[in-house]
Amino acid sequence: MTQHSRDMSRRRLLFGGAAVGAGVLLAGCTSNESQPTEAQTKAAGAPGGNSEPGKRVVIGFSAPAADHGWIAAITNNAKAQAGTYSDVEFKSVEAGADAAAQRAALSTLISQKPDVIVLLPHDGKELNAFGLEAMKAGVPVVNLDRAFPDARAYRLQIKGDNYGMGVAAATYMIEQFKAKGVSNPVIGEIAGMDELELTQERSKGFADTLTASGFKVANRRAARFTADSGQQEAAQLLQALPKIDALWNHDDDQGIGVLAAVNQSGRKEFFMVGGAGSKKAMEDIQADNTVLKATVTYSPSMASSAVSLARLIGQGRGMSDLVELQVPKEIILASETITKENAGDYLKLGF
């Protein structure tokens, strides 16, 4: 072996060794175990009524494979809630990337003959036909959060109140302005993805409520429900408004970035209201050491409730506190305002 080739092989060994070492080190770095992934469930604890085990129910579940904390919480909650019942069998299919993929996944779900289907569609309009088909075949469909336009396409619809979120955020702000005696406030808004109907509804509720009190939004930027886009849009919004009185950010996940931008700019003259109700936002509100003073809920706990109600539908039982013998057809969760005072109560619902 010549000197040159020995050098080469030694160099290769060194590089190879370094690469393997780095690989091992990196592989060890993917562990995420102490992340909080506690689900929001209601244990079937209280004796009597609907918690008594009944007829066996197979619940089929489908939600988009999203990369967003809120949807991840939806799936976790549904699974965990099903786990609290001894009489529920939970069959989940991933819905893939779009409505077509979800339709394909649902057809495999149908073939497994579930008693009830709980479904968070990619798009309510696009999956309306599936709802009709399943209902016709005698499988009750529980629509989670994204409504079908056709009332015959679902047995139960349970969803959050997007318009109400905007109303709640604006109402909180108006109260604060009154208390502080601000007569001509400068209001900023960081919205979520603008092409989604839910974002438009949130902004409309916000603008309508402000207008009723004679206020208006001074500047509005749309982010993408991600922390990095929230940071970028917030940084630009702060640049556009040298002085702000209040800022509403639609989503607490992107709010991590919005708060980062606020800290990086060193601005403290305003208060901020969040949206959705993440655990981190609630902790920040409770600690009261950032500009974030409140958040309005859009809780993924609705998935847990949807599974509970699907079980009752499958067993032909009603909600025990209501007079009706069956589950109602439509449930819209109210958007609640979380402040320092009540954050402790809501913390268990944070995702």
Interface residues toward another protein, by CB under 8 A = 22-23, 25-26, 28-35, 37, 66-69, 71-72, 194, 218-222, 224-233, 235-237, 239-240, 242, 253, 256-257, 259-261, 263-264, 280
Cβ distance to another protein smaller for residue 151 or 240: 240
CB of 221 to another protein, least distance (A): 6
Q: How far apart are CA 351 and CA 348, in angstroms?
A: 8
Q: What is the CA radius of gyration of the chain?
A: 24
**One-letter amino acid of 325:** L
Which residues are 63's β-sheet partners? Answer: 94
Taking the least distance from each CB to another protein, the nearer of 148 and 351 is: 351
Any alpha helices (H) in 181-251, and if so which ranges?
197-212, 227-240
User: DSSP string covering 55-118, please?
Assistant: S-EEEEEEE---SSHHHHHHHHHHHHHHHT-TTEEEEEEE--SSHHHHHHHHHHHHHT--SEEE
What's the CA angle centered on 10, arms 7 and 16, to 5 degrees? 140
Closer residue to another protein in complex, CB, 141/343 = 343
Nearer to another protein, 101 or 331 (CB): 101
Q: Which is nearer to another protein, 88 or 246 (CB)?
A: 246
Residue 328 CB, nearest distance to another protein (Å)?
32
Closest approach, Cβ 69 to another protein, in A, equals 5
**Alpha-helical runs (H) found in 148-251:** 162-180, 197-212, 227-240
Output the smallest distance, CB 223 to another protein, in A: 9
CB of 102 to another protein, least distance (A): 17
